[in-house]
């Protein structure tokens, strides 16, 4: 999702820098998509010890946000996943820098955090 959008600031038309993660989550929710997949440069969400968490419940994801374990660009990804899960059956965060990451995820749900 391109993070540039047109909008109004006051009465003046301008370009806005929209958070692409938030936009993707809202689009997936509105479309009632089957799956929302975020490609990033890490292999999912990690706990404080550095262990990847392959699956999280909604409550666990909220705790990770509240506790400060998630930081930087992972925060809007998790928030977008939580919003999208109102209508989307599966949200995933995977490492898009790995070869064929999206194909592997689509084929067998490999890697990342659901």
Structure confidence by residue, pLDDT tens digits, 49-92: 999 999 999 999 999 999 999 999 999 999 999 999 999 999 99
Q: How confident is the model at residue 3 (pLDDT cuts 50, 70, 90)?
A: confident
Please name the CATH architecture into which domain 20-108 falls. 3-Layer(aba) Sandwich (3.40)
Average confidence score pLDDT of the chain: 93
**In the prediction, which pLDDT does 22 show?**
94
Where would I find the H helices in 4-86? 20-31, 58-67, 74-84
Q: Map out the domains of the chain as residue ranges.
A: 20-108
Ramachandran class of 41: left when φ > 0, alpha when ψ lies in -120 to 50, beta otherwise? alpha
Q: What is the pLDDT of residue 58?
A: 96
């Amino acid at each position: 999702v391109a993070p540039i959008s047109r909008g109004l600031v006051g009465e003046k038309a301008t370009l806005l820098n929209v958070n692409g993660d938030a936009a993707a989550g809202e689009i997936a929710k509105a479309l009632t998509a089957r799956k929302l997949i975020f490609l990033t440069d890490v292999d999912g969400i990690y706990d404080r010890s550095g262990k990847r968490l392959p699956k999280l419940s909604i409550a666990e994801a909220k705790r990770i946000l509240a506790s400060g374990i998630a930081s930087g660009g992972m925060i809007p990804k998790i928030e977008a996943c939580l919003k999208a899960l109102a209508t989307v059956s599966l949200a995933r965060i995977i490492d898009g820098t790995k070869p064929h990451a999206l194909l592997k995820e689509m084929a067998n749900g490999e890697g990342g955090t659901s």
